[in-house]
C-alpha cells in the first residue's frame, strides 16, 4: 500500500515548516514510518542566494512534486506517511502573485491531488522575517486568497489549521484522524477529503469558529 500524503500549504510565516516537523514527530510516536519533504524553494534560495526567476518556477514546482512522489513510492525504505512542507501549488500561487503568470496552476493542481490530506495554515501567527523567502506581511492575505481560490476551484478539500503553540499540532492531528476515519468509511470509494471550513473558504468564518 502506498504511503499516505499530508500536504501543508499556506502563506509565508504561517508555521508550515514548524508544524511539518512536529506532526512528523507525533506520527512517529504513534508508530508510523514518516518521510518529511521540505520546501524545494528554500533549497533553491539557499544554494543560489536569490529568489527564482519566472523561467525557473516550473522546474521548482516539478522538483517538489518529484520528491513527494519518490518518498511515497520508495521501495528500499517504505514509509507509511509523507509529510510535505508545501506542494507545487504554492509555486503556482507565487508565480501568479509575483509574475502575473497563472500557467503553472493546471499541472500544480493535478500534482497536488496526490495528497490524501491538505492542511491550510491560518493567518493567525505573527509575521517573522526569514531571509530571501519572505516578502512581508502584506503578501499573506493575497497569497491566502489565491491559494483558497485555486483549491476550491479545483474541488480540492482542505482543513484549516489555526492556534498558537500546541494548538496547531492538536488541530492538525484532529484533521488527520478525521481523514483516516473518512477513508475507512469510504472503503476505497472515490472522493477526496472534505472539511466544513474547506468547503466554505471564508477565513473570517473560520476565525469565528475557532474563537468560540
Listed by start position, the domains of the chain span 4-211
pLDDT, position 121: 93
Distances (CA, A) of 202 to 8, 28, 150, 160: 18, 33, 14, 10
Q: What is the pLDDT of residue 212?
A: 35
CA distance 104 to 111: 11
Q: Which pairs from 66-75 meet CB under 8 Å and 24+ separation?
A: 67/37, 67/40, 68/5, 68/7, 68/37, 68/114, 69/114, 71/3, 71/35, 71/37, 72/2, 72/3, 72/5, 72/35, 72/114, 73/2, 73/3, 74/3, 74/35
Between 96 and 128, name the one with better pLDDT: 96
Q: Rounded to the nearest 5°, which phi and psi values hold at 85?
A: -80, 85
Fold of 4-211: Rossmann fold (3.40.50)
More confident residue, 101 or 189: 101
Strand runs (DSSP E) across 80-161, as ranges?
Answer: 81-85, 117-121, 159-161
pLDDT of res. 209: 41
Residue 165 three-state SS:
coil
Proportion of the chain above pLDDT 70, given as a percent:
83
More confident residue, 127 or 57: 57
Residue 93 predicted with pLDDT over 70: yes
Higher pLDDT, 51 or 28: 28
Q: What is the pLDDT of residues 121-165, one digit of tens each?
A: 999 887 776 655 556 667 889 999 999 999 999 999 999 999 888
Looking at the predicted structure, is the pLDDT value of residue 51 above 80? yes
| Cβ-proximal residues to 206 (8 Å cutoff; 6+ apart), any chain | 122, 160, 162, 197, 200
Q: What average pLDDT does this structure show over 52-71? A: 95
Q: What is the pLDDT of residues 26-43, one digit of tens each?
A: 999 999 999 999 999 888
**Helix/strand/coil for 152:** helix
Amino acid at each position: 500500500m502506498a504511503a499516505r500524503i499530508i500536504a501543508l500549504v499556506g502563506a509565508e510565516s504561517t508555521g508550515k515548516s514548524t508544524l511539518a516537523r512536529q506532526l512528523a514527530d507525533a506520527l512517529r510516536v504513534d508508530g508510523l514510518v514518516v518521510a518529511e519533504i521540505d520546501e524545494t524553494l528554500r533549497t533553491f534560495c539557499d544554494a543560489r542566494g536569490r529568489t527564482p526567476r519566472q523561467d525557473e518556477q516550473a522546474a521548482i514546482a516539478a522538483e517538489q512534486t518529484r520528491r513527494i512522489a519518490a518518498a511515497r513510492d520508495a521501495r528500499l525504505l517504505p514509509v507509511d506517511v509523507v509529510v510535505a512542507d508545501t506542494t507545487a501549488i504554492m509555486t503556482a500561487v507565487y508565480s501568479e502573485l509575483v509574475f502575473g503568470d497563472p500557467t503553472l496552476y493546471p499541472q500544480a493542481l493535478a500534482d497536488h491531488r496526490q495528497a490524501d490530506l491538505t492542511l491550510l495554515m491560518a493567518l493567525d501567527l505573527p509575521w517573522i522575517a526569514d531571509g530571501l523567502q519572505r516578502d512581508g506581511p502584506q503578501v499573506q492575505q493575497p497569497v491566502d486568497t489565491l491559494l483558497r481560490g485555486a483549491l476550491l476551484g479545483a474541488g480540492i478539500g482542505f482543513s484549516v489549521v489555526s492556534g498558537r503553540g500546541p494548538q496547531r499540532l492538536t488541530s492538525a492531528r484532529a484533521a488527520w484522524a478525521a481523514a483516516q476515519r473518512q477513508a475507512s468509511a469510504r472503503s476505497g470509494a472515490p472522493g477526496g477529503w472534505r472539511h466544513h471550513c474547506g468547503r466554505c473558504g471564508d477565513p473570517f468564518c473560520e476565525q469565528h469558529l475557532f474563537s468560540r
